Every structure is written in structure tokens, then in C-alpha cells.
Amino acid sequence: MAYWRDIDLELTKAQDGDISVDEDIEAIKNSIANIAATMQGSRVMLPSFASNANNLLFEPLTDETGNKLASAIWDAIEVWDNRVIVDGMTVFTNYDFLQYNITISLSIRNITKTPEKLTVILKQQ
């Protein structure tokens, strides 16, 4: 039985015709991806949710801006998802596609011994 559940972010259909469900670690990864990708202020009933990472996306595409993005996401994860411990982040500034690839290494509190990895891609939209 799953401890945590969340809808599949790809919105794929399950065999019963409903939207597929991600469970446990995949559900937590969905949460982290939502924290990173949601623009702060876009949730009317919870305007402080997420990080200010989207505000940084309109800064010059540099490694320094990428590090600021990673720091903002790290801080937001610590505030908004207490199920995880962020072990580290790496940022790849992808100049060809005008985006940042941020790989987050995280551990699930009291569950995982080896860190899970999640890559979030942020770019101007």
C-alpha cells in the first residue's frame, strides 16, 4: 500500500481510463517539481507557495543566476516539503536551449538510505 499518492504529472491515462497515479517516492518527486516550477504568487489561496525561481529566469543566462535559482529552490523545498532532506544540487546552464537543468539529490526522511535524484528544467516561457 502506498504511503503517498499524487496524480501523474504527465497526465497519462491508466487502464481504467482515469489519470495515472504516482506513489511514494515518485509522488514526492512530483511535489518537489511543483515547488520548483510554480511561480510564487500564482496560487490565490496560498500566494507564498513555491520559490521565487521564476523571477530569476528573466535575469541573464549565467552560471551565477543558475546558482541563485538552485538556492531559491533549496530554500523553498525546506519550507514546503518536510518529507525530504536536500543533500545537494547541481546546476547546468544550457546555453543552447536557454534553460537551466537543476539536478536535486534528496533523501526521504526516515525512509531512504541512498539519495534520490530529480532533474528540473527551468526556462523562460
The domain ranges of the chain are 5-9+17-123
pLDDT in tens, 33-59: 889 988 888 888 988 888 888 888 889
Query: Is 5-9+17-123 assigned to CATH 3.10.450.40?
Result: yes
pLDDT in tens, 69-89: 999 999 999 999 988 999 999
CA 5 from centre of chain: 16
Place of cell 537543468: 101
In terms of Cβ atoms closer than 10 Å to its own Cβ (0-12, 13-18, 19+), residue 58 is: exposed
CA 20 from centre of chain: 19
pTM for the full predicted model: 0.82
